[in-house]
Amino acid sequence: MSAHVTKGGFTTEVLDWAAWLEPVDLATASDEQLAALEESGPHAKTSQYYHLLLHDAPVLRERSQLFNAIMYGPKGLPRAERELGAAVESILNGCVYCTSVHARCYLQLAKRPGTIEALFEHGLQARLEPRERAIADFSAALARTPPAAGQAHVRALREAGFSDEDIADLANSVAMFAWANRLMLTLGEPRGNLPEA
């Protein structure tokens, strides 16, 4: 895929991430730590983020399995729309790194760069088609602290064709990124070709 989107302080270009604390040194890592890294996927081996999270290997291990079940589980809401929920949560929290990854996944899966461009530039004021509108509004409301999703959001999703299983799938993705954003934003920072705000 060639066409990346960069606007409003966000980008779909590949970024790096640097930890603010000393990550675990793989040369001295325990067997449990190495197993947790192995289970977190091929990209984890060269990522400072995963090396840092190895400080609590049992938690990383469970979290990686949960992440995979929610984002890549075979049944239910199309993967593209799980990625859109993750991207909206990340945009609202100002997580430039998480946004770059998951807006890029959405682009690759849904082939709708206009949606990402509009969300980057205008946030929730973006003009979206009805199903995307319902996803963005629910995701944004659930992202708030305390979460503010209500029956009107659920109704809008049902009108857009969502089953209750689909709504729970979207919520799981948004909730997973309430977690991921809080790690990425508070333990380090994005590096690389950063977008201007």
Partner 1 sequence: MTDVIDEALAVAPGSRLDRLRAARPEARKRTQSSYDALFDPAEEQNLARGERFAIALRVAESSGSPALAAHYRARLESLSIGAGEQRWAAIFRHVDRVTREPRAISAADLQALAAAGFDEATIVTLAQIVGFVAYQVRVAATLALLGEDA
Interacting residues toward partner 1 by CB under 8 A: 20-22, 52-53, 55-56, 58-59, 61-63, 65-66, 69-70, 73, 75-76, 93-95, 142, 145-147, 149-151, 154, 164-165, 167-169, 171-172, 174-176, 178-183, 185-187, 189
Q: Which is nearer to partner 1, 58 or 78 (CB)?
A: 58
Please tell me the distance from the alpha carbon of residue 16 to that of residue 35, in angstroms, as a whole number.
23
Of residues 9, 12, 57, 67, the one with CA closest to residue 36: 57
Q: Which is nearer to partner 1, 104 or 153 (CB)?
A: 153
- Smallest distance from partner 1 to CB 128, Å: 21
Q: Which is nearer to partner 1, 73 or 114 (CB)?
A: 73
- Smallest distance from partner 1 to CB 110, Å: 22
Q: In the structure encoding, which two tokens stand for residue 113, read together?
A: 């760069």
Please tell me the distance from the alpha carbon of residue 8 to that of residue 128, in angstroms, as a whole number.
17
Q: Which is nearer to partner 1, 25 or 129 (CB)?
A: 25
- Smallest distance from partner 1 to CB 185, Å: 4
Please tell me the distance from the alpha carbon of residue 11 to that of residue 9, in angstroms, as a whole number.
7
- Smallest distance from partner 1 to CB 106, Å: 20
Of residues 120, 101, 125, 97, the one with CA closest to residue 194: 97
The 10 Å CB-count burial string (b at 16+, else e) for 122-148 is: eeeebebeebbebbbbbbbbbbeeeee
